[in-house]
């Protein structure tokens, strides 16, 4: 029977009723906060294109993680901004590099913080690409040992999770082998399995100081029209030893998140990237949108599509809002 016997509005009448029958829930434990670590002491450089985000020295990274923990955010992913860059991104795998230094400082301070380390060469190379350049092109196979070496360095420093984001073929297998051969088989691999060549990364490149100095990344990041290709990439990475797979960006690729979640029985992460974050802030600053409402609606949409984990620059703001 339909109306008036059944009335859908009965269950929407109050906030408590709506919460009682909510089909999709968001909690601080599902969120990962990206942080940008830079050299120096007491450094807190505002990132102009990403309101409320900063390049942080190691000491400020530690203090920021303490603040995040107070709000129930116990997952962070670290991106490094090195003092020097070179053609092979050696600062990215140096044991005294900025990310392993930060990992050690965090591990000394926190027992229950889950530390993710992004694994890529783009922040550390003087050309800004995600791998070694040979004859003007990114050399896939020459890059794999460097990614494995960086992952091993971060894991030895105390990272719980390494997250290769470079989109080189075979990198998950190379990383898994390096970890297992060195007694680090407990370290989790989160693969940026379906990372698209997106225009939504612009503010991140300001934050990480990593734009390519020539060309673009379309020869190794995925082409936006393709979904079946994403599923093949996910399957290959799982076969090579990935524990969690990621779709990046999130909002323009909700269909991809949904397909990945429905076809693979593994945890799925989604990266709510810098451009998605910054465009909402820009609209809110112009008075066009209510930031809190669209922030929550966006992240609920990502969860509803199938993401178990969301990497987002909104993490602290969401946690504060949920605690009200």
Mean pLDDT of the chain: 96
For residue range 25-49, list pLDDT tens digits in order: 999 999 999 999 999 999 999 999 9
Torsional sign, CA 73, 288, 201, 265: positive
Q: Is residue 9 part of a domain?
A: no
Active-site residue list: 195, 248
> For position 20, what pLDDT does the model report?
94
Burial class (CB in 10 A: 0-12, 13-18, 19+), 21: exposed
Cα–Cα distance between 153 and 197 in angstroms, integer? 28
For residue range 87-103, list pLDDT tens digits in order: 999 999 999 999 999 99
Q: Is residue 226 part of a domain?
A: yes
Q: Is residue 67 part of a domain?
A: yes
Cβ 268 vs Cβ 214: under 8 Å: no
Q: Is residue 12 part of a domain?
A: no
Cα–Cα distance between 86 and 122 in angstroms, integer? 10
CATH code of the domain containing 219:
3.20.20.70
- 205 or 62: which leads in pLDDT: 62
- 65 or 1: which leads in pLDDT: 65
Q: Is residue 181 part of a domain?
A: yes
For residue range 152-173, list pLDDT tens digits in order: 999 999 999 999 999 999 999 9
Q: Is residue 16 part of a domain?
A: no
Give the confidence band of 324 by pLDDT, cuts at 50, 70, 90.
Answer: confident
Q: Which of 254, 236, 229 is nearest to 306 (CA)?
A: 254
Q: Is residue 179 part of a domain?
A: yes
312, two tokens: 């987002």
Instruction: Give the domain extent around 138.
Output: 23-322
Q: Is residue 30 part of a domain?
A: yes
pLDDT over 80 at 1, yes or no: no
User: How many structural domains are present in the chain?
Assistant: 1
pLDDT over 90 at 228, yes or no: yes
Q: What does pTM read for this prediction? A: 0.96
């Amino acid at each position: 029977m339909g109306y008036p016997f059944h009335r859908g509005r009965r269950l929407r009448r109050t906030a408590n009723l709506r919460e009682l029958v909510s089909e999709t829930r968001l909690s601080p434990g599902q969120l990962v906060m990206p942080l940008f670590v830079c050299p120096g002491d007491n450094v807190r450089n505002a990132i102009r294109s990403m309101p409320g985000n900063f390049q942080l020295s190691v000491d400020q990274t530690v203090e920021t993680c303490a603040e995040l923990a107070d709000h129930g955010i116990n997952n962070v992913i670290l991106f490094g901004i090195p003092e020097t860059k070179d053609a092979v991104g050696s600062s990215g795998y140096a044991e005294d590099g900025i990310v392993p230094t930060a990992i050690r400082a965090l591990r000394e301070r926190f027992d229950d913080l889950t530390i993710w380390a992004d694994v890529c060469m783009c922040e550390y190379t003087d050309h800004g690409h995600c791998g070694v350049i040979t004859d003007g092109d990114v050399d896939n196979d020459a890059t794999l040992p460097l990614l494995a070496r960086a992952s091993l360095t971060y894991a030895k420093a105390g990272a719980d999770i390494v997250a290769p984001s470079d989109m080189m073929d075979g990198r998950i297998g190379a990383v898994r082998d390096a970890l297992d051969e060195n007694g680090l088989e407990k370290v989790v691999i989160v693969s940026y399995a379906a990372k698209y060549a997106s225009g939504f990364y612009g503010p991140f490149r300001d934050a990480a100081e990593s734009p390519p100095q020539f060309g673009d990344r379309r020869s190794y990041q995925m082409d936006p029209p393709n979904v079946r290709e994403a599923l093949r990439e996910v399957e290959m990475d799982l076969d090579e030893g990935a524990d969690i797979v990621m779709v990046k960006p999130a909002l323009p690729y909700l269909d991809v998140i949904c397909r990945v979640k429905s076809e693979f029985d593994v945890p799925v992460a989604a990266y709510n990237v810098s451009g998605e974050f910054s465009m909402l802030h820009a609209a809110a600053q112009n008075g066009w949108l209510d930031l809190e409402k669209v922030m929550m609606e966006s992240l609920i949409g990502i969860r509803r599509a199938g993401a178990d984990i969301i990497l987002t620059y909104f993490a602290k703001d969401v946690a504060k809002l949920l605690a009200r």
